[in-house]
Amino acid sequence: MIHNRIGFSDERTESRVSLLKQRTIAGLHDFVADKVLRRCSPAGGPALDLGAGSGALAVRLRGLGWEVLAADINMPEYKADVPFVELNLNQPDFAAQLGERKFGLVTAFEVIEHVESPIGFLRNVGRLLKPTGLAVLTTPNVDNAPARLKFLLTGKLRMMDENSDLTHISPIFWDLFQRQYLQRVGLTLMERHVYPTNGYKVTRPRYAWAVRALGWLLAGDCLEGDNHVFVLQPRS
């Protein structure tokens, strides 16, 4: 459950975060911190950041009061002064290496689209969480209006084609995620957000108005925003 409690952050935390490279769309970390993470009550509990990259998010979580462990396969890229474990998230049982039912918070920002088995990844996330813990995941929104237009015109997925990150291999579609994936992994969706909330950051500005107009004609509730933000909890 998300509690209405503000954590703490200070100028030193923000300064450290600014020095670490963020592998996400600009502003995504700030958006999720303000929209979700600041409302999580840590009580000094353990948190895990999967796919930690440089460690920017791990440092931010520590500033919010969590006891943070970071995990990633790419150890040389990690630059934060937060405990780190080198881990391949494609391993089918990676939760056993980190501690099952141990974490009050698990974050995975722009990670699930990189793994070979999204369902297996989610199942491990569920195993890592305490019964009342939360998982916060973000992933590219391949359901939005620009993605639908791109697929219609080219047969390719926005943010997943040969001009995008070549390690993007597993697109997450909203309908399948909520109707199929979560049912199989024992997780419940508590909240869903999109970022940015109105519009797009990776669409050229001169085309953005036309794409938004197209969105008025299409069905679905994921037509805006470049990224999904999912807040999940173990099913009771």
Task: Give all domains of the chain, ordered by start, each with its CATH number.
Answer: 11-234 (3.40.50.150)
The pLDDT of 174-183, averaged and rounded, is 96
Cα three-residue angle 24-159-191, rounded to 5 degrees: 60
What global pTM score does this model have?
0.87
Give residue-wise pLDDT tens across range 14-50: 545 555 666 678 899 999 999 999 887 666 799 999 9
> pLDDT value at position 207?
57
Name the pLDDT band for 216 (thresholds 50, 70, 90): low
Least Cα distance to 141 among 224, 208, 209, 215 occurs for 224
Give residue-wise pLDDT tens across range 79-129: 999 999 999 999 999 999 999 999 999 999 999 999 999 999 999 999 999
Contact in structure between 173 and 143 (CB atoms under 8 Å): yes
- CA torsion angle for 157, 161, 166, 170 (degrees, to 10)? 20
Beta bridge partner(s), residue 192: 230
Q: Does residue 197 register a pLDDT over 70?
A: yes
